[in-house]
Amino acid sequence: MGPGTVGRSGPPADGPAVRHSRGLRRRNGPRSGVRRRRHGPGPRRGRRGDRGVQLHDLPPRRGDGPDDGRAQGAQAGAPARRAPDRCRPRSDHDRRYSRDHPAVPRSDRLAGGRAHPAHHRRHLPTGPRLVRHRRHRALRPRHPGRGRGPGARFPAAGGGVRMKTVALEITSTGWITTFQDLGRRDTERRGVPTGGAADQHSAAVANLLVGNPRGATLIENLGGELALVPDADVLLAVTGAPARVTVGGGAVESWSPLVVPAGHEVRIQGDVSRGTRTYLAVNGALTAETLLGSAAPDARMGFGQAVVRGSCVLLDTEFRGFSRRLFEAPLFRLPVPVPRFDAGPWDIDVVPSHGIHTITGIREVIEEATYVVTNRSNHVGLRLDGPVLHPDSDTEIVSHGVPVGALQIPHADELIVLGRYRSLTAGYPIVGVASRASLSLLGQAGPGRELRFRWSDRESSLRRFARREAEVRALEHAATEAFGALGFMAPLPHTR
């Protein structure tokens, strides 16, 4: 075999022995040849019997003597040529962790100081590779004021974050006042409805205005007047239906963050003719019982903690207030997406369902009629008075799960819009489903409210909901930047 060729044939058996600390074996050994140490797991190059590039096959080094192995047929006994630079240890650290060194790297040791067997140690990553990795991004320090987004935490003024417990004394409640959140997750497959706030948009915005995650627990008030007195400074926000909000007797705006000093009474008087529910969010965590990870009440399961007059609601918060009065109400103005609560009929977008084909002419009837919410409505759904048609046959369909906002036609002459506590179809046809952007508006509809349904397609409904979600995310970013600029509180991580 000529010079510079690679193959299985090797040098004469009586050739000199060459040994280096970087993978070189004896020239006449069974595994002779220049072998580079592998870093980490991976397929081996070549077959097991392949001896690789032989030392006597390598071309002469520049600068070596005229007789230093210029040809493959060098005489036996001639001085061995030095190994190429690529086969030499680059540093003392590499030499210490080379395969021929008797020391075992720290990564090759088991608990108690025992070393791995050789056939295991050979496949483990080497020492230099372990110590030369780049730290994970989550572990690398970053500039304290750079790259802050939704869910980022800011240090409180004057040092570390310290929690305090505040008592909210309830002096007045509405018709029904309960703890609420955005509902349970992944429970419908177990037969448990999601529940949660009827107006999900107002509940999420209220929490964002005070620096809480969207799904934090807050207070939902249905009709009437809600009043409370905190025993320490708190940061709160009121959203939902149009309402008159006062702090210490002075009128303030809703849908904005408010700083309430200790001992000042907060009163919320909603306008039931334009909406039934108001939401009160306070910076921190309200103490409330939970079921399957949610504080949302469920009457059918016998769970729910009502807020009654004379009770005290405990709050764990990081808000410390201000040492002097630098801000007037509201604390700051944010791009809040406030929905419209018109005095006239509300328009609800509806996507047709497969059940619409079972009733001839129902599409035209629903589109042209105006329906009125009755007092028989509850948390399961809204019962509407208005013209309806029934299926052409008396055959009932098989019961199945239905989404929130489904339009159902029972045997009675009424139309039902199922809410967040719905169950099954009960054999009634589903002619349409309200769009996600209209669900929060349906949650504010009370007795006497007039509703009109507009047929839409799925793509248009998704675009409207995407625009609403983009507005909420813009508020989330703006609130995070505003709280970070103040430096007195820490927005909590985003959930839901």
pLDDT in tens, 315-331: 999 887 765 554 556 67
Report the 10 Å Cβ neighbour count for 48. 6
Report the 10 Å Cβ neighbour count for 369. 15
Per DSSP, 207 falls in state: H
142 or 304, which is more confident: 304
Residue 342 has pLDDT above 60, yes or no: yes
pLDDT of 142: 43
Report the 10 Å Cβ neighbour count for 131. 11
Per DSSP, 306 falls in state: B
Residue 209 has pLDDT above 80, yes or no: yes
374 or 158, which is more confident: 374
362 or 320, which is more confident: 362
Contact status, residue 475 vs residue 135, Cβ threshold 8 Å: no
135 or 312, which is more confident: 312
Share of the chain above pLDDT 90, in %: 37
Three-state SS for 442-496 is HHCCCCCCEEEEEECCHHHHHHHHHHHHHHHHHHHHHHHHHHHHHCCCCCCCCCC
Residue 449 has pLDDT above 60, yes or no: yes
Q: How far apart are CA 382 and CA 375, in angstroms?
A: 9
**What are the CA-CA distances from residue 57 to residues 11, 74, 80, 213, 458 (Å)?**
9, 10, 13, 69, 72
Reply yes or no: is the peptide bond before residue 105 cis, omega within 30 of 0.
Answer: no
Residue 470 has pLDDT above 90, yes or no: yes
* Mean pLDDT of the chain, nearest integer: 74
Q: How far apart are CA 118 and CA 398, in angstroms?
A: 66
Structural domains of the chain sorted by starting position, each given as residue range(s) with its CATH number in brackets: 1-39+50-106 (no CATH), 164-321+328-341 (no CATH), 346-460 (2.40.100.10)
Among 67-71, 244-248, 366-370, 375-379, the least confident range: 67-71
Report the 10 Å Cβ neighbour count for 92. 8
111 or 284, which is more confident: 284
Contact status, residue 196 vs residue 180, Cβ threshold 8 Å: yes
- Say what the pTM is: 0.66
pLDDT of 305: 80
Tokens of 157: 């003024």
Residue 197 has pLDDT above 70, yes or no: yes
Closest CA to 255 of 179, 326, 334: 334
35 or 222, which is more confident: 222
Q: How far apart are CA 225 and CA 122, in angstroms?
A: 75
pLDDT of 490: 45
Tokens of 239: 């959203």
Residue 203 has pLDDT above 90, yes or no: yes
pLDDT of 170: 95
Q: How far apart are CA 304 and CA 289, in angstroms?
A: 8
Mean pLDDT over 435-452 rounds to 93
Residue 332 has pLDDT above 70, yes or no: yes
Contact status, residue 282 vs residue 317, Cβ threshold 8 Å: yes
Sheet holding 218-222, edge to edge: 176-180, 218-222, 277-282, 234-240, 258-260
Closest CA to 428 of 377, 382, 384, 389: 389
Q: How far apart are CA 105 and CA 40, in angstroms?
A: 14
Q: How far apart are CA 262 and CA 268, in angstroms?
A: 17
Give one DSSP letter per residue of 405-424, joined into a string. TEEE--SSS-EEEE-TT--B
Q: How far apart are CA 100 and CA 109, in angstroms?
A: 17
> Side chain identity at 246, as an amino acid letter?
T
pLDDT of 456: 92
pLDDT of 161: 58
189 or 341, which is more confident: 341
